[in-house]
Structure 1
Amino acid sequence: MPAKSSPYQPLLLRILHGLTGLSVVLAILTAYWTYDTYDGRWLSIGLPAFKEIEGIHGTFGLYALLIFPAFVIYALRRGQQRLLQPDSLGKLTQVGRPVWWYSLHRLANTVSILALTFALFSGKMMDETWLPRGELNHAWYYAHLISWVVMVFCIALHLLMSAKVGGSPLLLSMLSWRFRAKDNPSLWRSHISNWWSNIKPVSIQHWFSKVLSLSNGYRVLEAIVLGSIIAAWIIPLFK
């Protein structure tokens, strides 16, 4: 189902998506090199031993951890149409029809957010001294290995579904630098200022009520992701 015309992606989405994606891909590549250097019990390809690679992997993981919250907030606030919809699960029963592919694409996008959350959280739960000391049997190390395998699968599914529902125009639209007048970066400061001024105690209370009542899936997902990221920063302080 190739797109007949080139779709337009908001500039801020492209920037946040691009920075997050680049950080994640580099983290995955260095994660495997780290694994091959210190572990290599499964699927080792004999990369050169490079002791500093763990620190490089951690740096790219940190970049992703810093950028990801902004991307999640944007995706769940302005990009909800690209994520699972209330009727998406029902449409997944219509196998092979166009609506099935679009629903599968939204599912891949949503699962990718959760997978990256798990990868970043499990990485922060690890101790950087484990691998150099040969301590390979920690639960959080295994969880982190699994998280990156899942992340690779999610990225592959995300790209395949994007190509299926939008073809090359959709993929290339994420790399374009053109933007419309409303997306001009000179307007971002005022947009952020207006958004911040609208965050009031009553709004926060309303947000919590939606989370606790499970009445809005996007707010629940937002709470899970942002709560996990906050916990990833706080928990290591008490180790």
Structure 2
Amino acid sequence: MTRLTPYQPLLFRIWHGASGILVIGAIISGFLVYNTFDGRFGKIIIPKINPIQDIHGTFGVFFLIVLPFFAVYSFHAGKHRLLQRDSIQKLTQVGKPIWWVSLQRLVNTSMLIAAVLAVISGRMMKEEWLPSGEFDHIWYYFHLISWVIMVCCLAIHVLMSAKVGGVPLLLSILSWKLRPEDSPKNWYSRFRSWNIRGEFNQFIAGSLLLKSIEVIVLGGIITAFVLPLFFSGTGG
């Protein structure tokens, strides 16, 4: 018996798709930046791409623009995909279906935190550091660490999605199907009916762990926008 393909909300597919493309582009271009200028931990002999720093920076800037929308959606409409009150406890049930789901939620949440570290450290780097051989800046090390975490989390995210939902779940992310109630023409009316007080009350009543992570992530995104205004770092 085949499993029916689940339905993913259109907004989720938009933000997830945009974020996914930008993250993959940033990961690949980030490795090429490291491979071109650093390579202390191993490198691949490939032709040099002269504007690779600019390409990586472009992916980073667009990802920073998309990240606030995806983060807000994730912590509210998509909060069931993130850590829950009992997720840590359920991680002790190794091998059971709930363990796989809880692990996937942990990875999803970790990706948001790693993304914040990546955009903050990237914004605080100077473009001349790497071409000048200045590899010992703390922001560069933070950027390398965030790159490693993002690569690991992305790989586990795809594997866990395949494990938890199988091919139907993966196909649902790429599906073009649209339910009438999910049509863009209804977005304005849904936005007008959005209850800020209700969202705030749900936030207060939510898991302390998830609330703390939301504050860290959203605060980190704001920091990534404003911190370079007070320092001489440029995005990279």
Q: What TM-score, normalized by structure 1, do the two folds share?
A: 0.90
Counterpart for residue 50 of structure 2: 51
* Cα distance per residue 1:120-179 (max 9 Å; x no partner): 111111112211222111111011011101100000010010000100110110000111
Q: Where does 1:1-239 land on structure 2 (aligned, <5 Å)?
A: 4-195=3-194, 198-199=195-196, 210=204, 216-239=208-231
Q: Distance in 1 between matches of 2:66 and 2:190?
A: 19
SS across alignment from 1:174: helix
Deviation at 1:181, TM superposition (A): 1.1
Deviation at 1:207, TM superposition (A): 8.6
Deviation at 1:194, TM superposition (A): 3.2
Q: Distance in 2 between matches of 1:89 and 1:69?
A: 26
Report if aligned partners of 1:33, 1:53 keep a CA contact under 8 Å in 2: yes
**Count of residues in Structure 1 that have an aligned counterpart in Structure 2:** 231
Alpha carbons of structure 1 residues 231 and 207: separation in structure 2 relative to 1, 3 Å: farther
Deviation at 1:3, TM superposition (A): 7.1
Report if aligned partners of 2:84, 2:210 keep a CA contact under 8 Å in 1: no
SS across alignment from 2:46: coil
Alpha carbons of structure 1 residues 4 and 221: separation in structure 2 relative to 1, 3 Å: same
Deviation at 1:203, TM superposition (A): 7.5
* Cα distance per residue 1:39-80 (max 9 Å; x no partner): 111220022222310011000011111001101111110111
Q: What TM-score, normalized by structure 2, do the two folds share?
A: 0.91
Report if aligned partners of 2:29, 2:55 keep a CA contact under 8 Å in 1: yes
Alpha carbons of structure 1 residues 207 and 162: separation in structure 2 relative to 1, 3 Å: closer
SS across alignment from 2:174: coil
Deviation at 1:215, TM superposition (A): 5.9
Q: Distance in 1 between matches of 2:60 and 2:2?
A: 34
Q: Distance in 1 between matches of 2:208 and 2:40?
A: 43
SS across alignment from 2:29: helix
Which 4+ residue blocks in structure 1 deviate beyond 6 angstroms? none
SS across alignment from 2:176: coil
Report if aligned partners of 2:84, 2:207 keep a CA contact under 8 Å in 1: no
Deviation at 1:220, TM superposition (A): 2.3
Report if aligned partners of 1:38, 1:132 keep a CA contact under 8 Å in 2: yes
SS across alignment from 2:141: helix
